[in-house]
Amino acid sequence: MNKTATRKLMSVVAVVLTLCLVLAGCTTIGGTADTAAANGGAAATTGGSVQFIISIALLVVIFYFFLIRPEKKRKKKEQELRSSLGVGDEIVTIGGLVGKIVNITDDDVTFETGEDRVRIQIAKWAISRKTK
């Protein structure tokens, strides 16, 4: 995860946690928790537990849309890339090696690098992208 994505995630988490605390009644906007408890009494306690459950559900939904769903999309895209590989495709590995595929098995790929025709065998999961 790069720095921009990490900062974005941390800001979303901070906002969501603040909302959860406000909805749960731990803090209030424009007043104190003591005045809210004095005004609401027992009703504030019952409403607080419902608000807490709603805020936790909101937190789960936000985490799903900002973390889980994009990760699933990325993995699906990578899987489609690796299943579409064919002999003759030019690839780049996660280590930065560039070459042309000469043989493919279920789990491994053999490719040649450069004019010297050095063959290297790697696992399919180590392929980063196709260049063509």
Please give the full DSSP string across 44-78, using - where no structure is assigned: HHHHHHHHHHHHHHHHHHHHIIIIIHHHHHHHHHH
Residue 89 confidence (pLDDT): 94
Domains of the chain: 3-83 (no CATH), 90-130 (2.30.30)
Which is nearest to 92 in space by CA: 60, 120, 67? 120
Residue 59 confidence (pLDDT): 85
Residue 102 is which amino acid?
V
Residue 129 confidence (pLDDT): 93
Average pLDDT for runs of 10 along the chain of length 132: 70 71 60 50 61 85 87 92 93 94 94 91 94 80
Residue 57 confidence (pLDDT): 87
